[in-house]
A = this chain, B = another copy of it.
Amino acid sequence: MERLRDAGEHAFLARLRRRLRARPAGESESTGDAAARLLVGPGDDAAVFAPSDLPIAVTTDALVEGVHFRLDWLEAEELGERAAVVNLSDLAAMGARPLYTLAAITAAPDTPVSLLDGILDGCARASEAGGAAMIGGNLASARDLSITLTALGEIPGPRLSRAGARAGDELVVTGTLGGAAAAVARWKSGEAPSEELRRAWARPSARIAAGLALAAAGAHAAIDVSDGLLADLGHLCAASGVGAEIERNLLPRSREVATLDAAGADFAASGGEDYELLVACPPEVSARLDEIARETGTPLTRIGRCTDRDGEIVLLGADRRPHRPRAAGFDHFSGPPSA
């Protein structure tokens, strides 16, 4: 089996270039524009592209083995996809359209080259699926396997941020919540999650179309749900200077998470890593939610509303009384999932 120490560092760029060349400009409708605007591709000191006159969004986020994932939890391609989606989701939360990704990978010298290939394939595939071309990166030796992805996008219409939500806005989430946390909880307890739960964790979706459509429709604020719904709702409210009230029974859960009853509801409220969007919509946008869901092919669910009680986050139980979920939410320094 070929290992990284045999292939060397420069093999990385050759591999990256091959993946970009394999998908030339114009072949994929989604990445055609971004690829056509690429002036210098992977393999030089920097990649160069021609901007349009639209604002550019840029974000970077890392996945580290033993902290964010374990290799027996997912395939190499899924890992690459996940690294891309985690970042593309940040762009989606700004109302941005992805353009380019760069993947900086660290790995031990005895890492099989096939693992690197899988990661790059996954990164390239998820980038492309989001309309972005993978144009650069870096490979360095380290004990920890990690992928630090940088994603760039442009904002074609109104810009979303965490600030801007107003009292009276309805709170909307994409997709379903809690599946990723339920999968991690299974692994931590020593059981394997079902394939449905495993995929909820391993293969999140970047909600790009929904982010763009909700921004265009006039949404006020958005954040991606990475730390857990309540934690990220807290960030959105803090940035916007509002409070929020959400209803536990309205939180969208997959069939399997729904069968977990109270634990499932807690995963949905507090578990992290769903990478869904949480969006604050004024009533006139909320009124068009079904139409936007249909047009973007994205489930959209109203879960509550913003209040004028600055910083107060209330989770209402079925009895309409405040419900206290288990404190949770993902903090990288509270201990790795392997602990």
Contact bitstring A141-161, B, C-beta under 8 A = 1, else 0: 111101010111101000101
Within 8 A of B (CB), among A169-220: none
Given contacts A39-B159, A44-B239, whether A148 and B53 have CB atoms under 8 Å apart is no
Distance (whole angstroms) from the CB of A224 to the closest CB of chain B: 6
Write the nearest CB–CB distance from A225 to chain B, whole angstroms. 11
Chain B residues with CB below 8 A from A148, complex form: 60, 62, 104, 138, 148
Interface residues in A44-77 (C-beta closer than 8 Å to B): 44-64, 66-68
B-side contacts of A333, CB under 8 Å: 4-5, 7-9, 109, 141
A170 to chain B, nearest CB (A): 20
- Whether the Cβ atoms of B60 and A50 lie closer than 8 Å is no
User: In the complex, A175→B331 CA distance in Å?
Assistant: 44
Contact with B along A321-339 (1 / 0, CB 8 A): 0000000000111111000
A44 is contacted by which of B40, B135, B162 (Cβ under 8 Å)?
A: B162
Alpha-carbon gap, A106 to B67, bound state (A): 11
- The residue in chain B whose Cβ has the minimal distance to the Cβ of A335 is B109
Chain B residues near A143: list those with CB within 8 A. 66, 143-144
CA distance in complex: A136, B150 (Å): 11
Q: Is A96 an interface residue (CB 8 A)?
A: yes
Indicate if the CB atoms of B139 and A46 lie closer than 8 Å. no
Check B51–A51 contact: CB distance below 8 A. Answer: yes
